[in-house]
Chain A
Amino acid sequence: MDIDLITQILFATIKTGTPLLLIALGEVICEKSGVLNLGQEGMMLMGAVVGFMSAFATGNLGLAVFAAMAMGALMSLIFGFLVLHLGANQVATGLALTIFGTGLSAFIGSGVIGETLQGFQPIIIPVLSDIPVIGKILFTHDLLVYISFVVAAALAFIANKTRLGLTLRAVGENPHAANAIGIKVLSIRYFAIMFGGAMAGLAGAYMSLSYTPMWVENMTSGRGWIALALVVFASWRIGNIMLGAYLFGLASIMHLVLQGMGWSISPNLLAMLPYVATVVVMVIISADQFKEKLLAPRSLGKPFDPRQMA
């Protein structure tokens, strides 16, 4: 392998890792507030289809991205209402949201199947893109990829260095204590859920407006699920999420690269790579029960009712 090929592979890794990064960033904020939303896949698909249809109708990509994020947030609001106000089971509600989003997106998108549009074009950042190797890998992408960098950095800062981050953590660790000191637990959770939804919508928009500028039923093909595993893999740390997203991205294109290089391994076997990676990571993490408990937000998945005492 020469340096050019490695550069190309790493460039493609960033591209394939970006949708995973976007959803995982949304999900980790949601989980930090103590809410587990398994509806990622459904929200992402809705974002993808709404984004594509808006771009197709108006030709305005910025508007399309906004519509996709709004759609994701709207979907998550349904989830939020069910689990926060009605105290519905988070796992069941999240699954329902995924199934709902998958079906609905296929239904409303049937009219634009086979249409294509000019999606986001790469923006080559002057100076930075001239850095040997790294420049090509990091600074010749399109706008949504840069947004993912910025969001990751901003979230890492907010989660670790600000009062807001601390509040979020308090809500996720011990909502009753947080409530007692005057934090509005439900509002914070609503906010976190909607942020997760908007990010899933953005990830969907990335799929249908940048990655493959077209709409196909179920085009996210399980990325929402991989992102959920990714959050656990990263032990709820933003920096790790970034690393993990690119690792998973690499695993999912490696089988195509290896085939091109003439490795005669069964393609089915190679296509399994990202999923095998997910399982392995889950096994490694759950091997240490104590550590797992220490890392996960303590009240993750548990409903909170301010009228009840802890």
Chain B
Amino acid sequence: MKLKSLLVGVGLLAGLGTAHAEDPFKVGFVYVGPVGDLGWSYEHDRGRQEMEKYFDGKVETTYVESVPEGADAERVITQLAKSGNDLIFTTSFGYMNPTLKVAKRFPKTTFEHATGYKRSKNMGTYVLRTYEGRYVSGIAAGLLTKTNTIGYIGSFPIPEVIRDIDATYMAAKSVNPDVKIKIVWVNSWYDPGKETDAANALMDQGVDVMLQHTDSPAPLIAAEKRGIRAIGQASDQSKFAPEAHVFSVRDDWAPYYIKTAKAVMDGTYKPTDFWGGFQDDMLSLASINDNLPKDIRAKIDATYEKINSGEFHPFTGPITDNKGNLVVPAGHTLTDAELAQVNWYVEGITDEVPR
């Protein structure tokens, strides 16, 4: 990684020297994992490539992969801004403060930060309605589990992850009132070793459907080995677990990347908080396994339709948290701003949110 970011840096500096008026529009990307993670960063990079193809030479892109969330991130973002990128996408929650800091120093550059909640004059945010995919996953998990125990591997206890756990559990419980959820935090977005350990620890405790909010296919591989079910994260992970794989909730960032680049080029860009889901073609169910029972498959399709058509929103009240507080009153649906702050587990989850 170090060597690669160095090479990118050198390349950028070289580019700077020869800059002239008809330079193509330049877009930079910062990824938290390797582009080959076959999960989160892989999908962002797929979005980048599709955007490049769409603009056919008018847009030039650069990316830096495996950038740790912290001081390193600020350095990398600064470097990208300095080297003349007009638009920079920073694609992980932990880049929020570094992005904001750099955005202040480079007011002419546009910044877009994925999954965060801080915005400024030249910094917008964008996020996926992953809870929509989780809700469908929860329905599948609730119907598939024979031990009535589903497992969830969490990365960090941030609203995005907690919200998805809630959506999963509400869905599972709606089809299976006896279902329990076991949650294990691994404190990493990408650590196949730890993810495997976590998956094994969960399976040892009776989990027979595995969900994950971490980016490597390791939990699916572990599930396949033990002959239980698992749901893919961020990218189509079916090839890692031909039998175990239920479906993958796949991210598709290209529509947003294309739209935003266009807006910045036209001068119509305004920083917003954009949420993309099934309806925006930014989220889909990939490779639904043929080995699923027909009735479960039908339930999955029906739930997807209900959310896709806008008929149903998973966070519609009344919702009670696991301490007995009414967090969403009857008749109210959480707004996007409220969704960004979910820090409670729904009723029935016996764990507590780690602080």
Interface residues of A (CB under 8 A from B): 5, 8-9, 12, 16, 103, 106-107, 110, 113-116, 207, 211-214, 216-217, 219, 221, 252-253, 256-257, 259-262, 264, 266-268, 271
Asked whether, in the complex, the Cβ of A5 is within 8 Å of the Cβ of B205, the reply is: yes
- Within the complex, what minimum Cβ distance (angstroms) separates A176 from chain B? 44
Complex Cα gap A211–B197 (Å): 9
Residues A12 and B354 in contact, CB atoms below 8 Å apart: no
Does B305 lie at the interface of the complex (its beta carbon under 8 Å from any beta carbon of A)?
Answer: no
- Tell me whether A212 and B196 are in contact in the complex, defined as CB-CB below 8 angstroms, given that A260-B201, A261-B205, A266-B354 are known contacts: yes
Which of the four size classes fits the interface of chain B?
A: 35 or more
Chain B residues engaging chain A, CB cutoff 8 angstroms? 1-4, 34-38, 42, 66, 151, 182-187, 190-198, 200-202, 204-205, 207, 216-218, 221, 240, 350-352, 354-355
How near does chain A come to B227, taking the closest CB pair, in angstroms? 13
Q: Is the CB of B201 within 8 A of A103?
A: no
Residue in A211, A259, A260 with the greatest tally of chain B CB atoms within 10 Å:
A260
> In the bound complex, do residue A253 and residue B201 qualify as a contact, i.e. CB atoms below 8 Å apart?
yes
Contact count A vs B, C-beta below 8 Å: 100
Partner of A116, one of B151, B193, B217, B351: B217
For residue B217, which residues in chain A have a CB less than 8 angstroms away from its CB?
116, 214
Given contacts A8-B204, A12-B204, contact A207 B34 (CB under 8 A): no
A267 adjacent to B197 (CB under 8 Å): no
**How many angstroms from the CA of A65 to the CA of B190 in the assembled complex?**
25
The 27 sampled A-B contact pairs (Cβ below 8 Å) are A12-B197, A103-B3, A107-B3, A114-B34, A114-B35, A116-B221, A116-B240, A212-B195, A214-B218, A216-B34, A216-B193, A216-B216, A217-B1, A217-B34, A221-B191, A221-B193, A257-B205, A259-B184, A259-B201, A260-B182, A260-B184, A260-B207, A262-B182, A264-B352, A267-B185, A267-B186, A268-B187
Q: How far is the CB of A209 from chain B (nearest CB, A)?
A: 13
B218–A212 touching, CB < 8 Å: yes
Instruction: Please state if B1 and A12 are interface contacts (CB–CB under 8 Å).
Output: no
- Given contact pairs A106-B3, A213-B221, enumerate 11 new A-B contacts (beta carbons under 8 Å): A106-B1, A114-B34, A114-B35, A214-B217, A216-B34, A216-B191, A256-B186, A259-B185, A260-B202, A264-B354, A267-B185
B1 proximity list for chain A (CB < 8 A): 106, 217
For the complex, give the distance between the alpha carbons of A48 and B216 in Å.
18
Q: How far is the CA of A271 from the CA of B194 in the complex (A)?
A: 10
Chain A residues within an 8 Å CB radius of B190: 216
* Given contacts A9-B204, A12-B200, A256 and B184 within 8 Å (CB-CB): yes
Say yes or no: A256-B351 contact (C-beta < 8 A), given A12-B204, A214-B218, A221-B193. Answer: no
**Which residues of chain B are near A267, meaning CB under 8 Å?**
185-187, 354
Q: Which A residues are CB-close (under 8 A) to B240?
A: 116
Give Cα distance in the complex from A259 to B185, angstroms: 8
Chain A residues whose C-beta falls within 8 Å of the C-beta of B221 in the assembled complex? 116, 212-213
B201 touches A257 (CB 8 A): yes
Q: Which residues of B contact A264 (CB under 8 A)?
A: 351-352, 354
Q: Which 4 A-B pairs have the closest CB atoms?
A: A114-B36, A8-B204, A113-B36, A267-B185
Quick check: B192 and A212 within 8 Å, CB to CB?
yes
A212, B193: Cβ atoms closer than 8 Å: yes
The contact of A214 among B186, B192, B350, by CB within 8 Å, is B192
B4 — which chain A residues lie within 8 A by C-beta? 110
The docked-state distance in angstroms from the alpha carbon of A216 to that of B37 is: 9
Contact between A211 and B182, CB atoms less than 8 A apart: no
> With A207-B193, A212-B192, A219-B193 in contact, do A260 and B185 touch (Cβ < 8 Å)?
no
Residue from B37, B201, B218 in contact with A256 in the complex, judged by beta carbons closer than 8 Å: B201
Most A CB atoms within 10 A — which of B151, B187, B205? Answer: B205
| Contact A16–B197 (Cβ < 8 Å) | yes
Name the B residues within 8 Å of A253 (CB-CB): 197, 200-201
Chain B min CB distance to A47 (Å): 15
A288 to chain B, nearest CB (A): 34
List chain B residues, Cβ under 8 A from A5.
204-205
Assess A256 versus B192: contact at CB under 8 Å? Given A116-B217, A268-B187: no
Contacts of B182 in A (CB 8 A): 260-262
Q: Which residues of A contact B37 (CB under 8 A)?
A: 113-114
The distance from the CB of B45 to the nearest CB of chain A, in whole angstroms, is 11
**Chain A: minimal CB distance from B221 (Å):** 7
Q: Which residues of A contact B183 (CB under 8 A)?
A: 259-260
**Least CB separation from A270: chain B residue:** B185
Give Cα A253 to B4, complex, Å: 33
In the complex, how many angstroms separate the beta carbon of A178 from the nearest chain B beta carbon? 41
Q: What are the residues of chain B within 8 A of A110 when measuring CB–CB? A: 4, 34
> How many angstroms from the CA of A28 to the CA of B47 in the assembled complex?
50
CA distance A199 to B198 in the complex (A): 27
Q: How far is the CB of B231 from chain A (nearest CB, A)?
A: 18
CB contact under 8 A between A256 and B198, given known A114-B42, A116-B221, A264-B354: yes
Expressed in whole angstroms, the Cα–Cα distance for A106 and B36 within the complex equals 13
- Complex CA–CA separation, A212 to B186 (angstroms): 16
Residues on B with C-beta less than 8 A from A256 are: 184, 186, 194, 197-198, 201
